[in-house]
Amino acid sequence: MALSTNGSEESELYHAQIHLYKHVYNFVSSMALKSAMELGIADAIHNHGKPMTLTELASSLKLHPSKVNILYRFLRLLTHNGFFVKTTVKSNEGEKEEDIAYSLTPSSKLLISGKSTCLSSLIKGALHPSSIDMWSSSEKWLKEDKEQTLFECAKGENYWDFLNRDSDTLNMFQDAMAADSRMFKLALKENKHVFEGLESLVDVAGGTGGVTKLIHEAFPNIKCTVFDQPQVVGNLTGNENLNFVGGDMFKSIPPADAVLLKWVLHDWNDELSLQILKNSKEAISHKGKDGKVIIIDISIDETSDDHGLTELQLEYDLVMLTMFLGKERTKTEWDKLIHDAGFSSYKIIPISGFKSLIEVYP
Ligand SMILES: C[S@@+](CC[C@H](N)C(=O)[O-])C[C@H]1O[C@@H](n2cnc3c(N)ncnc32)[C@H](O)[C@@H]1O
């Protein structure tokens, strides 16, 4: 390599190149993770009950013998990315020869099916081909004068219509949401006080009721209603204190002591979010000052020292923008939206790492 007359310029160029390439190829890490999920690698290791060698894994996954080395290459990247850990095991009982074996990390344990913490359906939903393909239309989208999402620009229909087109797609989306909701269990345990004393709660745009079921489990005496579009909740049945109601949150919301809006306001622009918040305020109005709205969403903090966390929040913002013309909001934006809807005060409590719970009072 030729010696540079200006070492720092050269080093800056190399760093810039690595930085750029890393962002270009980040999708490979996402896709390798999706492949691992589809193959069921985490289930195979979990069911084996101890670290698994490459040959054991390939045979359990029923891979073609010619693909063992390919599996190794996937595992090498995924191990580097923190999804698996390599250990050495004796090849055969009593023998000296050692083999490499793979075990799970806390992140890949989130792929074990059947567990309440399984996030496989979130990966399926987030990395669905339609949500990836749409990005090839981003230049067209940005240059044309049409108020539509990138998804609509690319696919000719909006995301909600796409979801409602067939039950498989709608289930794919609702399963992804339900998986995300089950992760709320820990946050609920840490924030029980938010729900204590409530006699009724309506989970607006609550999907198939992932979060409400957790609340119902922890507080069986609260009368819980999951309110969503008729095609989502129409066939669902609950029990005495857990019921499903179909309707349109832009028209009216069933009355309750508290309205829960989880992962809802980020789907909508400020004008439509304001409408949802005003209808929420009306729904709790019979409780006077004792009613509340509980929002679970992201509160972006660009000043945070946690670069990775802020990156995730900003990535979510672009997902909401491109799929729904929605947005993730900063604290200042939440402040304005909440006050514009006529509420007097609020409290932001950070939960599950990158989301926040916002208690809003009339
Ligand atoms: C991002 S999902 C959130 C689901 C749920 N809150 C959760 O966190 O799992 C948004 C939900 O809004 C519902 N939705 C969309 N438009 C609606 C409307 N006009 N009225 C009621 N629900 C609606 C969708 O059916 C979907 O279940």
User: Is the predicted pLDDT of residue 243 greater than 90, yes or no?
Assistant: yes
Which atom of ligand 1 is least distant from the CA of 261? 6
Q: With cut-offs at 50, 70 and 90, classify the pLDDT of residue 98.
A: confident
Q: Does the active-site annotation cover 266?
A: yes
Query: Whose alpha carbon is nearest atom 24 of ligand 1?
Result: 205
How confident is the model over 213-237, as pLDDT tens digits? 999 999 999 999 999 999 999 889 9
Query: Whose alpha carbon is nearest atom 11 of ligand 1?
Result: 205
- For residue 180, what pLDDT is reported? 87
Which atom of ligand 1 is least distant from the CA of 250? 19
CB 250 within 8 A of CB 283: no
Give domain limits for the chain.
7-109, 183-361
Q: With cut-offs at 50, 70 and 90, classify the pLDDT of residue 183.
A: confident
Q: With cut-offs at 50, 70 and 90, classify the pLDDT of residue 5.
A: low
Closest alpha carbon to 280 in 309, 302, 250 = 250
Q: What is the greatest pairwise CA distance in the chain?
A: 78
Average pLDDT for 166-187? 87
CA angle 85, 91, 92 (to 5 degrees): 135
Average pLDDT for 182-193? 88
297 CB near ligand 1 (under 6 Å)? no
- For residue 331, what pLDDT is reported? 94
Q: State the chain's mean pLDDT as an integer.
A: 93
- Could you give the CA distance from residue 161 to residue 142 in angstroms, rounded to a whole number? 22
177 CB near ligand 1 (under 6 Å)? yes
What's the first-to-final CA gap in the chain, in angstroms?
Answer: 68
Q: Which residue has the higher pLDDT, 95 or 250?
A: 250
263 CB near ligand 1 (under 6 Å)? yes
Q: With cut-offs at 50, 70 and 90, classify the pLDDT of residue 174.
A: confident
**351 to 226, 300, 348: CA distances (angstroms):** 22, 13, 9
User: Is the predicted pLDDT of residue 175 greater than 70, yes or no?
Assistant: yes
How confident is the model over 301-343, as pLDDT tens digits? 878 888 999 999 999 999 999 999 999 999 999 999 999 999 9
How confident is the model over 280-311, as pLDDT tens digits? 999 999 998 899 999 999 999 878 888 999 99
Lowest-pLDDT choice from 51-60, 251-260, 328-337, 345-354: 345-354
> How far, in Å, from the CA of 160 to the mean position of ligand 1?
10
Exposure letters 263-286 (e unless 16+ CB within 10 A, then b): bbbbbbeeebbbebbebbbebbee
Average pLDDT for 345-355? 89
Helix (H, G, I), strand (E, B) or coil at 144: coil
Phi, psi of 206 (to 5 degrees): -80, 10
Contacts (Cβ under 8 Å, ≥6 apart) of 221: 199, 241
Instruction: Give the rounded percent of residues in the chain with a pLDDT score beyond 90.
Output: 78
Instruction: Give the rounded percent of residues in the chain with a pLDDT score beyond 70.
Output: 97
> How far, in Å, from the CA of 26 to the mean position of ligand 1?
30
Q: 183-361 domain in CATH 3.40.50.150?
A: yes
- Could you give the CA distance from residue 294 to residue 357 in angstroms, rounded to a whole number? 7
> How far, in Å, from the CA of 97 to the mean position of ligand 1?
56
- For residue 334, what pLDDT is reported? 97
Work out whether the CA dihedral 204, 258, 211, 353 comes out positive or negative: positive
How confident is the model over 118-149, as pLDDT tens digits? 999 999 999 999 999 999 999 999 999 999 99
7-109: CATH topology: Arc Repressor Mutant, subunit A (1.10.10)
Average pLDDT for 86-106? 84
- Could you give the CA distance from residue 326 to residue 322 in angstroms, rounded to a whole number? 8
- For residue 1, what pLDDT is reported? 44
> How far, in Å, from the CA of 359 to the mean position of ligand 1?
20
* Residue to substitute in 229, 265, 327 for testing ligand 1 pocket (most ligand atoms within 8 angstroms of CB): 229
- For residue 2, what pLDDT is reported? 47
Under DSSP, the state recorded for 93 is T
